[in-house]
């Protein structure tokens, strides 16, 4: 996502001025040869540079780590099987921020995470609790958001809230970090500030979103294990008994990654509900051949558009011959229209 360090400067910034200089005299607007010449000259303007110079936006852009506000929360102790409060991560007004990576380190990686935008009525970037292993990595292999989370701090600070829920059954010390690109726009001149503002105003509606599974298959119970799907030994959940990913009516979701965390091996297939039950494979797929994790995600070669209120079933068969808790996360991008 790095910005170009050097960009080319046009000899004449305004294409209208370039054409005016090239023509000199007024021409008949109905002359076909005139318009042919216009097209030729416009191509010439596109290629007419005087050289390279440093991109002025590059001078105000820096990589930036965002940690919890309070030192005690930067190594947060979460009780066994307990949930934390919503931990604040403040983006001050010194510069706009794009979140690109999610990273963590913990006593146990078996915990859930939720991220909320406090400045947007605490809207979540997920439909439910998501297993951390499916959406976060380490500095060596960070989880890369398919679309940056963009935060405009022109008028006021922005606040991210993060809640953690332990699933290890023991006290768990969790360290969490966002990493991305900081735009220190106030250190630049008016033209650069205006360009940066337009970029952020346009991009705030497009963002990454995490879909956890919905629905409890027959034979599972709605207990404190949610949002995992708990399969008994060799259990299969198919068709209308299968859990599903759903894009709610707020926005369409283009899915680009599919990750999991489980206690044991399983196999799966994806079945559409809006196309007469089309299956996206010609058989069941081993979990290690069709899903990844936060450090090594499985990336679709073509994004899957899950339109609002459409469901994508995840049919499952246990291969562990034991009780098997499965967390699956579909990661994509959303365009919020309003």
Residues 222 and 215: their CA atoms lie apart, in Å, by 10
Q: Once rounded to an integer, what is the mean pLDDT over residues 205-224?
A: 72
Residues 262 and 85: their CA atoms lie apart, in Å, by 26
Report yes or no: 211 and 329 within 8 Å, Cβ to Cβ: yes
* Confidence band for 338, pLDDT divided at 50, 70 and 90: very low
- The pLDDT of residue 225 is 45
Query: Residues with Cβ < 8 Å from 62, sequence gap 6 or more?
Result: 181, 182, 184
Q: With a cut of 60, say whether residue 6 has pLDDT above it.
A: no
What is the DSSP secondary structure assignment for residue 220, as one 8-state letter? -
* Confidence band for 219, pLDDT divided at 50, 70 and 90: low
Residues 229 and 221: their CA atoms lie apart, in Å, by 9
Q: With a cut of 70, say whether residue 220 has pLDDT above it.
A: no
Q: With a cut of 70, say whether residue 228 has pLDDT above it.
A: yes
Token output for 10: 């046009």
Residues 21 and 25: their CA atoms lie apart, in Å, by 9
Angle, vertex CA 319, rays to CA 316 and CA 321, nearest 5: 120
Report yes or no: 212 and 126 within 8 Å, Cβ to Cβ: yes
Query: Residues with Cβ < 8 Å from 9, sequence gap 6 or more?
Result: 49, 50, 51, 52, 53
Q: Which of 326, 336, 295 is nearest to 208 (CA)?
A: 336
Higher pLDDT pick, 252 / 69: 69
Residues 187 and 208: their CA atoms lie apart, in Å, by 29
Query: Residues with Cβ < 8 Å from 113, sequence gap 6 or more?
Result: 104, 129, 130, 131, 132, 135, 136, 162, 163, 164, 165, 176
Q: What is the mean pLDDT of the chain?
A: 87
Query: Residues with Cβ < 8 Å from 210, sequence gap 6 or more?
Result: 125, 126, 127, 130, 134, 135, 329, 330, 331
Residues 264 and 125: their CA atoms lie apart, in Å, by 28
Higher pLDDT pick, 86 / 38: 86
Q: Once rounded to an integer, what is the mean pLDDT over residues 6-17?
A: 72
Higher pLDDT pick, 336 / 206: 206
Q: Which of 6-15, 121-130, 220-229 has the lowest mean pLDDT?
A: 220-229
Q: Which of 97, 136, 91, 90 is nearest to 113 (CA)?
A: 136
Q: With a cut of 90, say whether residue 121 has pLDDT above it.
A: no
Percent of the chain with pLDDT over 90: 60
Percent of the chain with pLDDT over 70: 88
Angle, vertex CA 296, rays to CA 291 and CA 300, nearest 5: 50
* Confidence band for 329, pLDDT divided at 50, 70 and 90: very high
Residue showing tokens 């360290």 = 175
Residue showing tokens 């969790």 = 174
- The pLDDT of residue 28 is 54
- The pLDDT of residue 264 is 97
Residues 219 and 235: their CA atoms lie apart, in Å, by 9
Domains of the chain with CATH codes: 6-54 (no CATH), 58-203 (2.60.120), 210-335 (2.60.120)
Q: Which of 25-29, 41-45, 204-208 has the lowest mean pLDDT?
A: 25-29
Residue showing tokens 């960009």 = 7
Token output for 60: 């105000």
């Amino acid at each position: 996502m790095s910005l170009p360090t050097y960009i080319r400067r046009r000899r004449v910034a305004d294409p209208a001025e370039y054409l005016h200089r090239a023509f000199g005299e007024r021409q008949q607007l109905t002359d076909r040869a005139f318009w042919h010449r216009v097209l030729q000259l416009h191509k010439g303007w596109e290629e007419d540079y005087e050289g390279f110079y440093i991109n002025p936006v590059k001078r105000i852009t820096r990589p930036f780590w965002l940690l919890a506000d309070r030192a005690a929360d930067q190594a947060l102790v979460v009780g066994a099987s307990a949930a934390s409060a919503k931990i604040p991560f403040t983006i001050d007004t010194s510069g706009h921020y794009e979140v690109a990576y999610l990273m963590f380190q913990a006593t146990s990686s078996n915990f859930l995470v939720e991220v909320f935008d406090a400045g947007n009525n605490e809207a979540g970037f997920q439909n439910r609790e998501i297993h951390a292993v499916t959406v976060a990595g380490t500095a060596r292999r960070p989880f890369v958001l398919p679309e940056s989370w963009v935060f405009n701090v022109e008028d006021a600070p922005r606040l991210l809230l993060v809640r953690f829920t332990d699933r290890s059954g023991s006290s768990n010390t969790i360290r969490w970090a966002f990493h991305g690109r900081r735009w220190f726009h106030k250190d630049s001149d008016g033209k650069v500030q205006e360009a940066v503002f337009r970029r952020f105003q346009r991009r705030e509606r497009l963002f990454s979103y995490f879909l956890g599974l919905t629905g409890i298959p027959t034979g599972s119970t709605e207990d404190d294990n949610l949002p995992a799907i708990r399969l008994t030994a060799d259990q299969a959940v198919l068709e209308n008994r299968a859990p599903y990913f759903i894009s709610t009516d707020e926005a369409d979701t283009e899915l680009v990654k599919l990750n999991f965390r489980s206690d044991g091996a399983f196999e799966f297939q994806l079945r559409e509900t809006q196309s007469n039950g089309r299956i996206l494979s010609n058989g069941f797929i081993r979990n290690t051949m069709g899903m990844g994790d936060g450090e090594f995600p499985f990336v679709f070669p073509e994004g899957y558009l899950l339109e609002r209120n459409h469901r994508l079933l995840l049919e499952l068969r246990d291969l562990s011959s034991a009780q098997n808790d499965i967390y699956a996360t579909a990661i994509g991008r959303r365009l919020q229209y309003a």
